[in-house]
Structure 1
Amino acid sequence: MWRKSKTLLQVYYAYMLEYRAELVLWAIAGLLPIILMGVWTQAAQGGGFGLTPDEFARYFLMVFLVRQLTVVWVIWDFEREVVEGRLSFKLLRPMDPVWDHVASHLSERAARMPFALLLLAIFFLLYPGALFVPSWEGILLGMIATAASFAMRFLMQYTFALVAFWTERASSLEEVWFILYLFLSGLVAPLSVFPEVVRNIALLTPFPYLVYFPASILAGQPVNIGQGFLVLLAWASFFFILNRWLWRKGLRQFSGMGA
């Protein structure tokens, strides 16, 4: 298993390195949190939001980092494999095709991170007030939360991708889901500035734990860590069960070329 994993990671890492310019463009494409950081730091100068301009800057810089580490595109790749019949050949191997996608995403993270960290360093130079030294505990918990958020995001999107066994536009589900993700994940604004009722409802959904939860830990802002990991585990269990059910049903439905 280790040899297979190592080979997959090496192959996909080499593949990703062939598209360095594209990786730079994708890293730059994730600058929305930086734009929003400028908006919120200006708005916070008038007070009334519970966070200082520097705290907003730290939060959105960590959102940028978390987003770079948790971006997922498996639904589009899987949909294309099903529609074009390429999944048939992967099903002949003694390995679940999902591991190809996992290796692809992990390799892309390794290839993208130098560019993302360089951008992060530039932003710290532009916003010196946002520069801070997190505790080792904060770094460790933040990276664990980020890894859990990536796993959750991947599982959610891969579950939606399995709908491609029944329709050629499974990616439409992700486009609808992304609207909720955009507003409830903490990407547009930290949940601490939301009305209490909205915040309490949002914290029961998986969205805040995909961005707000790990970003707040890394930024050193107060967050209920125990609740966060419990909610992540609960939603991950739900999507895993749904994923396996759709996979078994979908294989019976699959009639791609060569299947």
Structure 2
Amino acid sequence: MNHIFRIAKALLSVYYAHMVEYRAELILWALSNSLPFILMGAWIQASQTGSFGFTSIEFARYFLAAFIVRQFNVVWVIWDFEKEVISGQLSNRLLQPLDPFWHHFAGHVAERFARFPFIVVLVGLFFALYPQSFWIPNLTTVLTFIFVVAIAFCLRFLTQYTFALFSFWTERASAIEQFWFLLYLFLSGMIAPLDVFPATVRAVLEWTPFPYMIYFPSALLMGRSVNVVQGVLVIGAWTFLFYVLNRWLWRRGLKHYSGMGA
């Protein structure tokens, strides 16, 4: 166990140091996820002329929560892995007694810590511009939110890493992620909270992984009633399915891999 902790500490330290070298880029990356703020203005305006189950203040809080969630579950592993396979750089990773998965995972986690100060500044700026939307969630809500965001990130990462393994057979595995992202964009709650969807659509979406990426933790943070047990179980089920598929593709892919030095 101590050996595992030492490896984790070393990986996180190295990747955190790497990430803080690009502070200016981190600011741009954080701002690039500001789509929820753009949509917030449209939904606040719409709430003044129609009934969507949300007040204008609730829309503001929801999209702020969605922005925070997006900062913690953004993933780019498929482009890194695809480049490693095509260029043959994966061969160097395979010489190490550690699954390349953990290098990418540690890089993403370290980036969250490096990004965190910018998130705090942007949230503070939001409340300065919209002071009427200020609220403080209770401690239980915050702890549950952190747990849900963490497992939602793991599912999002594992999903994209699984798609990345198709790089062993195609040079454009990222095209799979681009198609998946379209579904993610419209069904996760990024465009609109699921409360504005028809009841039948919501009932179907509750069994897919999409709403648990953004809507579920966002609604939880803003204090709306959500079924935490169901959410955790659905996330766990999809994580297990993608893990099984991931390990199968990894074993098959290594047999097919013919990069330089392999």
| Correspondence list, 1:55-74, <5 A | 55-74=58-77
Deviation at 1:202, TM superposition (A): 1.2
Which amino acid in 1 is paired with 2:115? R
Q: Does 1:155 align with 2:158?
A: yes
Structure 2 counterpart of 1:128, from 125, 131, 134: 131
Which amino acid in 2 is paired with 1:213? F
Structure 2 counterpart of 1:87, from 84, 87, 90: 90
Q: Work out the CA distance in 2 between the residues paired with 1:3 and 1:143.
A: 24
State the 4+ residue runs in structure 1 displaced beyond 6 angstroms. none
Look up the match of 1:237: 240
Deviation at 1:129, TM superposition (A): 1.6
Which amino acid in 1 is paired with 2:145? G
Q: Does 1:173 align with 2:164?
A: no
Q: Does 1:190 align with 2:196?
A: no
Structure 2 counterpart of 1:100, from 86, 99, 103: 103
| Correspondence list, 1:1-150, <5 A | 1-150=4-153
Q: Percent identity?
A: 58
Q: Work out the CA distance in 1 between the residues paired with 2:124 and 2:249.
A: 43
Q: Work out the CA distance in 2 between the residues paired with 1:16 and 1:53.
A: 37
Deviation at 1:197, TM superposition (A): 0.9
Q: Does 1:204 align with 2:207?
A: yes
Which amino acid in 1 is paired with 2:261? G
Deviation at 1:46, TM superposition (A): 2.4
Look up the match of 1:248: 251
Which amino acid in 2 is paired with 1:119? L
TM-score under structure 1 length normalisation: 0.98
Which amino acid in 2 is paired with 1:215? S
Deviation by residue 1:71-123 (Cα, 9 ceiling, x = unmatched): 00000000000000000111011110111101110111111110111011101
Look up the match of 2:230: 227
Q: Work out the CA distance in 1 between the residues paired with 2:234 and 2:132.
A: 33
Aligned residues: 259
Q: Work out the CA distance in 2 between the residues paired with 1:78 and 1:224.
A: 35
Q: Work out the CA distance in 2 between the residues paired with 1:78 and 1:61.
A: 31
Deviation by residue 1:4-49 (Cα, 9 ceiling, x = unmatched): 1111111111111111100000011111001111111111122410
Which amino acid in 2 is paired with 1:49? F
Q: Work out the CA distance in 2 between the residues paired with 1:102 and 1:117.
A: 23
Q: Work out the CA distance in 2 between the residues paired with 1:9 and 1:113.
A: 15
Q: Work out the CA distance in 2 between the residues paired with 1:177 and 1:144.
A: 24
TM-score under structure 2 length normalisation: 0.97
Partner SS state of residue 93, structure 1:
coil
Q: Work out the CA distance in 2 between the residues paired with 1:256 and 1:226.
A: 44
